[in-house]
Amino acid sequence: MIPSSPFLCVITDETICPVTLAENALKGGAAMIQLRHKTASGSQLYAWAVEIRKLCHQYQALCIINDRVDIALAIKADGVHLGQQDMGVRSARKLAGNKCLIGVSASSPQEALQAEKEGADYIGFGHIYPTLSKLKGYSPLGTDILQKTAALISLPIIAIGGVNAENAELLISSGASGIAVISAVSRSDNPSGASYELVCAINKKSHEKSL
């Protein structure tokens, strides 16, 4: 189940060991780790996934596998995250059933709404701000479109793209349920500290809402 309070998702970076990154992020308070590596072999992804799942469950966090429904099922991950060019939500649901979360990347309100109609559990929405972590063929969406999308759908939205400790609070106030980062943690000299700083930023907004 997606956390009910604002949370941090850390996506692994292909430039460093994903298991090491995951452990450091979890120590800093990340509630979700997404294993993403486009060039690794299936056997290597499986080995990493097994270790990351162990760590996530140790820290009571969610383990999400990018793209690979087969690996997510093989290691009993908490979920799988699909891009617009990956297997469709309905097909993934036939394989995974209801015990596996299915997240979908969306870059427009229309894509988010379609994913909801098809049965996704959450939306990864972005990129919100300029980012160098992934090459994109379109301009940053900004918080106005994030707000529009949050008002349009009922699913949790994880905002991604150029997210850092300075803008994380604004994303939560704009309707995001959580934030996802790559370089803000992976390229920090202190990944655990960077994760903690991000968690503090979103928890500050969460605390303000409850006052």
174's tokens: 């704009």
Assigned token pair, 88: 């469709």
∠ at Cα 15 (54, 121), nearest 5°?
50
Distances, alpha carbon 146 to alpha carbons 31, 95, 179, 191, in Å: 21, 31, 12, 27
Which residues, including other chains, have CB under 8 Å from residue 199's CB and lie 6 or more apart? 8, 28, 29, 30
Is 118 within 8 Å of 106 (Cβ atoms)? no
Secondary structure string (H, E, C) spanning 91-110: HHHHHHCCCCEEEEEECCHH
- For the annotated catalytic residues, the residue numbers are 36, 105, 134
CA distance to 133, 154, 198, per residue, from 82 (Å) = 18, 19, 24
d(CA 122, CA 11): 15
The number of residues in the chain equals 211
Q: Can you tell me the distance from the alpha carbon of 177 to that of 2, in angstroms, rounded to the nearest whole number?
A: 9
